[in-house]
Amino acid sequence: MGHSDFVKESLDYLEMLKNMSIQIRAMEHRDISGMTCLLIAAEQEHTMLFEHLLAYKADFTAKDSIGRNALMLSVGGGHRDIAKKILDKGLDVNATDVNQNTALHYACKHPDPVSCLDFLLEHGAKLQQNDIEETPLDVALMNQNERAIQFFYLR
């Protein structure tokens, strides 16, 4: 390899590293509410983007400014497939936000929560109270979420 080939290869390598650095900074960037790209992808069910971010080692444990993680955001939107990918990565199913709400609390706010509720319980989610002593069932009752209420009473 000649000197010019080495220089070109080195410059190409440095450009690749620079691009990787830009990608990493973009993945770690947070909006005004503390949301990362991965959190937004989980909340909005952008599955391909979510998978791409996971493949590039985005922080799947990231939380927004009120402590919501990707699992809470995904089940809050009824996105079971993304929730599965998150749990497969090892995120704690019983993690809490700043108010001690779990993913179960968030799932109870969705109009069609049954598949997510069932999925979370199968993965060891506990029916715990938040900091104002509300259980997921209490959240369902306050939101008049009949499907969630029936789910818990029939369980």
User: In angstroms, rounded to a whole number, what is the distance separating the alpha carbons of residues 83 and 45?
Assistant: 10
Please report, for residues 47, 49, 50, 88, the alpha-carbon distance to residue 81 in angstroms, rounded to integers and kept in the order given: 8, 13, 11, 11
Return the pLDDT at 56: 80
> pTM for the whole thing?
0.83
Contacts 24+ apart (CB under 8 A), 126-131: 126/94, 126/102, 128/94, 128/100, 128/102, 129/100, 130/96, 130/99, 130/100, 130/101, 130/102, 130/105, 131/99, 131/100
Task: Please determine, for residue 68, whether its predicted confidence score (pLDDT) is greater than 80.
Answer: yes
Q: How far apart are CA 91 and CA 141, in angstroms?
A: 27
22-66 confidence digits (pLDDT tens): 555 556 777 788 898 899 899 999 898 899 888 888 899 999 999
Q: What residues does each domain of the chain span? A: 60-154
Topology (CATH) of 60-154: 1.25.40
Query: pLDDT for 113-140, tens place per residue?
Result: 999 999 999 999 999 999 999 999 999 9
Q: What tens digit of pLDDT does each residue of 71-92 get?
A: 999 999 999 999 999 999 999 9
